[in-house]
Amino acid sequence: MTEKNIMAYTRRKALFSATLAAAMMPLMAGAQTSKESDDRATRYVLGIDGMACPFCAFGVEKKLNALDGVSKLDTNILAGTVFVTMEPGKTLSEKDARLAVEEAGFDLRDFKEDSGAS
Amino acid sequence: MRRFWCVRALRLLAAALGGCFMLTLPLAPLQAAPQTFNTALPVARGDFVFREQFMLVKSSDDPSSADRDVTAWAVVSALGYGVNSDFALFGVLPYVNKQLKVTAGGMRFTRQAAGVGDLKLFGRYTIFKNNAPGKSLRIAPFAGIKIPTGEHHARDALGRLPAGVQPGSGSWDAFGGVVTTYQTLNYQIDTQASYQVNTAASGFEFGDVARLDASLQYRLWPRVLSGGVPGFLYGLIEANFSHQNKNRSGGVRDPNSGGTTLLLSPGLQYVTKRWILETTVQVPLVQNLNGSALKNDYVLRAGLRINI
């Protein structure tokens, strides 16, 4: 095998490897994105009407805590909001949130996924 | 000789205590919050609210020569259960200790009884609610019965104790009313109108009672809310108006019972998510009582509420 042939073979091998890597990159990246998604906890912001004292907040928190997948609650009584952090891979439906809030005797004003969640 | 004096003393006492047998002690069981009456705030579905309240009642302003002096205390346990977000059931059971001191024939006697009082069971249904950010308005009628679980035939060496000193009334009574609560982050206003129909037991019947109550709670601390759910310290002032009809004994109205009172109740309340500590003292502003019915000096209350 001449030096010229060796160089051509090496170029083809490098080109094949690069092509293969380029082809695999999106798949690997996609797998990585999916794994990060599983590890990220989804957070929701619930606006609650009628919650005007600490003793009332307990009932709301107790009902929300009983929902499947809820891992943490942060209540702001001044804003009338409860931030609901879910366990990784779990989600909260507006229907379940509304039912929990109403069982505590209050009304669900807003329901949205918190885009600032990490 | 000694026996003679005992018998004479008993006769004198029986005569002097004519009014005392009709004595109505001001020991009405509480129902829930704010401090002396109910509230329309919700009990979450399937949840319990427990309340324990200590009461001390002092009455000593007797216009008669009997110089009656009543000291009574009670530990009142109340449990509320949320059937759903609008309908709640409550049970209230007091343990009472009542002591009457009276002068008769130049001698001072003490009569006393203690034990479980009458159980009150009632339901409260929210017929109107308007929730908004940081505020709530609710109107809730309630109705219930008083079950004669307390003893009403207690005796001492002088015979059967007066009806007002008995731990229980012996009668099945019905009551009802409506309570309204307007709550904001800064203050809360409660009002209640209620009526209790009393029936006879063992020939004695307490007069029916009509009540009007109002309460204002104002957040003293923290002055400024920032975030989270801090504990609230409320200053509160309550006004408690009541009118009681005359009692009946053997079908005859007792002229020395019943009347109208207006009590003012300043107090403090510390509220967290899980529990509430509270205390208040009720002092009389107006007491238009019939005949020689015994007036209130004060009622001291201190209690704890727990979300379960």
Provide, as residue numbers in chain A, all residues whose Cβ is less than 8 Å from the Cβ of B228.
Answer: 74-77
For residue A1, count CB atoms less than 10 angstroms from its CB and return exposed for 0-12, middle for 13-18, buried for 19 or more.
exposed
What pLDDT is stored for residue B24 in this prediction? 45
The more confidently predicted of residues B11 and A42 is A42
Same domain, A11 and A45: no
* Rounded mean pLDDT, B233-251: 96
* A78 lies in some domain: yes
What pLDDT is stored for residue A11 in this prediction? 47
Provide, as residue numbers in chain A, all residues whose Cβ is less than 8 Å from the Cβ of B236.
Answer: none
How near does any CA of chain B get to the CA of A100, in Å? 9
Same domain, A57 and A33: no
CA distances from B92 to A8, B50, B146, B162, B244 (A): 95, 10, 9, 24, 21
Nearest by CB to B273, which of A54, A63, A105? A54
Provide, as residue numbers in chain A, all residues whose Cβ is less than 8 Å from the Cβ of B42.
Answer: 56, 59, 104-106
Parallel, antiparallel or unpaired: strands A107-113 and B69-82: unpaired
Same domain, A61 and A30: no
For residue B90, count CB atoms less than 10 angstroms from its CB and return exposed for 0-12, middle for 13-18, buried for 19 or more.
buried
Provide, as residue numbers in chain B, all residues whose Cβ is less than 8 Å from the Cβ of A55.
Answer: 41, 271-273, 276, 305, 307
Provide, as residue numbers in chain B, all residues whose Cβ is less than 8 Å from the Cβ of A105.
Answer: 41-44, 82, 85-86, 126, 129
Residues near B74 by Cβ (< 8 Å), separated by ≥ 6? B27, B29, B54, B55, B57, B94, B95, B96, B97, B117
* Assigned token pair, A22: 């380029």
Same domain, A2 and A56: no
How near does any CA of chain A get to the CA of B93, in Å? 23
Chains A, B: CB contacts under 8 A, how many?
105
B95 has which bridge partners? Answer: B75, B116
Task: Give the pLDDT confidence of B138-148 residue by residue, as tens digits.
Answer: 999 999 999 99
Nearest by CB to B185, which of A59, A60, A77? A77
- Integer Cα distance of A78 and B169 in angstroms: 47
**Reported confidence tier of residue B20, pLDDT bands at 50, 70, 90:** very low
Same domain, A23 and A70: no
Chain centroid to CA B117: 12
* A118 lies in some domain: no
- Integer Cα distance of B179 and B11 in angstroms: 48
Nearest by CB to A78, which of B85, B129, B227? B227
End-to-end CA distance of chain B: 62
CA distances from B123 to A110, B139, B175, B181, B266 (A): 32, 14, 11, 17, 28
What pLDDT is stored for residue A15 in this prediction? 45
Domain count of chain A?
2
C-alpha neighbours within 13 Å on the C-beta side of residue B121: 4
CB of A45 closer than 8 Å to CB of A73: no
**Reported confidence tier of residue B48, pLDDT bands at 50, 70, 90:** very high
CB of B95 closer than 8 Å to CB of B128: no
* Rounded mean pLDDT, B73-84: 96
Same domain, A16 and A61: no
CB within 8 Å: B131 and A53 = no
The parent domain of residue B23 ranges over 2-307
Instruction: State the average pLDDT for chain B.
Output: 89
Same domain, A48 and A35: no
* Assigned token pair, A92: 């909260």
What does the radius of gyration of chain B's CA atoms come to, in whole angstroms? 21
> Measured at the alpha carbon of residue A40, what is the angle toward residues A39 and A46, in degrees to the nearest 5?
145
* A104 lies in some domain: yes
* Assigned token pair, B118: 């009458």
- Which residue, among B85, B184, B229, would best test binding to A if mutated, counting the most A CBs under 10 Å from its CB? B229
CB within 8 Å: B274 and A58 = yes
Query: Which pLDDT tens digits describe chain A residue by residue (118 residues)?
Result: 444 554 445 445 544 544 444 444 444 444 444 444 445 789 999 999 999 999 999 999 999 999 999 999 999 999 999 999 999 999 999 999 999 999 999 999 999 999 765 4
Residues near B96 by Cβ (< 8 Å), separated by ≥ 6? B27, B72, B73, B74, B113, B114, B115, B116, B117, B150, B167
- Which residue, among A45, A48, A51, A53, would best test binding to B if mutated, counting the most B CBs under 10 Å from its CB? A53
CB of A53 closer than 8 Å to CB of B271: yes
Provide, as residue numbers in chain B, all residues whose Cβ is less than 8 Å from the Cβ of A75.
Answer: 228-229
CB within 8 Å: A104 and B307 = no
DSSP line for B110-144: EEEEEEE--EEEEEEE--EEEEETTEEEEEEEEEE
**CATH number for the domain that contains residue B180:** 2.40.128.130
* A48 lies in some domain: yes
How near does any CA of chain A get to the CA of B216, in Å? 14
CB of B177 closer than 8 Å to CB of B124: no
How near does any CA of chain B get to the CA of A97, in Å? 15
Task: Give the pLDDT confidence of B95-138 residue by residue, as tens digits.
Answer: 999 999 999 999 999 999 999 999 999 999 999 999 999 999 99
Domain count of chain B?
1
- Its sign, for the CA torsion A93, A39, A60, A76, is negative
* Assigned token pair, A76: 């702001």
DSSP letter (8 states) at residue B164: G
What pLDDT is stored for residue B25 in this prediction? 47
The contact set of A with B (CB < 8 A) is 47, 49-63, 74-80, 102-107, 109
What pLDDT is stored for residue B121 in this prediction? 97
CB within 8 Å: A106 and B47 = no
Helix axis angle, A54-65 relative to A94-103, nearest 10°?
140
CB of B121 closer than 8 Å to CB of B81: no
Nearest by CB to A54, which of B86, B126, B231? B231
**CATH number for the domain that contains residue A94:** 3.30.70.100
Same domain, A30 and A54: no
The parent domain of residue A75 ranges over 40-113
* Rounded mean pLDDT, B40-53: 93
How near does any CA of chain A get to the CA of B124, in Å? 14
Same domain, A51 and A77: yes
CB within 8 Å: A79 and B227 = yes
Same domain, A34 and A48: no
- Integer Cα distance of B53 and B171 in angstroms: 24
* A64 lies in some domain: yes
Nearest by CB to A53, which of B82, B228, B232? B232
CB of B168 closer than 8 Å to CB of B149: yes
Same domain, A100 and A81: yes
B270 has which bridge partners? Answer: B233, B277
The more confidently predicted of residues B278 and A29 is B278
> Measured at the alpha carbon of residue B131, what is the angle toward residues B129 and B132, in degrees to the nearest 5?
155
